[in-house]
Amino acid sequence: MHLDDVNLTKDYDPNVGYGNSKTATIWMAKYIGRFYGPRGVHATAIHPGGIFTALFNCGVGGPAKDTMSILDPGYAPHAFDEEGENRLWELSSKLSGITVEI
């Protein structure tokens, strides 16, 4: 994740941007679950489309792969970054001008 340059203005690559957007979706869902779950608010991050990766080729693809990546750090270790989740939440609050009390 490029949290210091979320628009990739320094070094734009559409594949990096796409990957960052998917990671951000997972991080936001995990942050919401961690902080708002006890209050009954939950979030889910899932991508319903086809995914052509090594995981896809080993028989795990599409939504099943995404679900597994959220549940098992072995599938997507970058999706398990609590510090990154916190930084993304703070950045989102700053950019949107919306502050939410936790």
The parent domain of residue 57 ranges over 14-96
Task: Look at residue 41 and tell me if it is in a domain.
Answer: yes
pLDDT of residue 70: 58
Task: Look at residue 40 and tell me if it is in a domain.
Answer: yes
Task: Look at residue 8 and tell me if it is in a domain.
Answer: no
- Per the structure, the count of domains in the chain is 1
Instruction: Kindly report, residue by residue over 69-98, the tens digit of the pLDDT.
Output: 556 666 678 888 999 999 999 999 999 998
Task: Look at residue 67 and tell me if it is in a domain.
Answer: yes
Per-residue pLDDT of the chain (102 residues; tens, 9 = 90+): 889 998 999 999 998 998 898 889 989 999 999 999 999 988 888 766 655 555 555 555 555 555 555 566 666 788 889 999 999 999 999 999 988 776
Task: Look at residue 101 and tell me if it is in a domain.
Answer: no
pLDDT of residue 9: 94
Task: Look at residue 6 and tell me if it is in a domain.
Answer: no
Task: Look at residue 3 and tell me if it is in a domain.
Answer: no
- In whole angstroms, how far apart are CA 55 and each of 42, 47, 61, 65, 102? 27, 15, 6, 7, 37
Interatomic CA distance for residues 74 and 68, integer angstroms: 9
Task: Look at residue 45 and tell me if it is in a domain.
Answer: yes
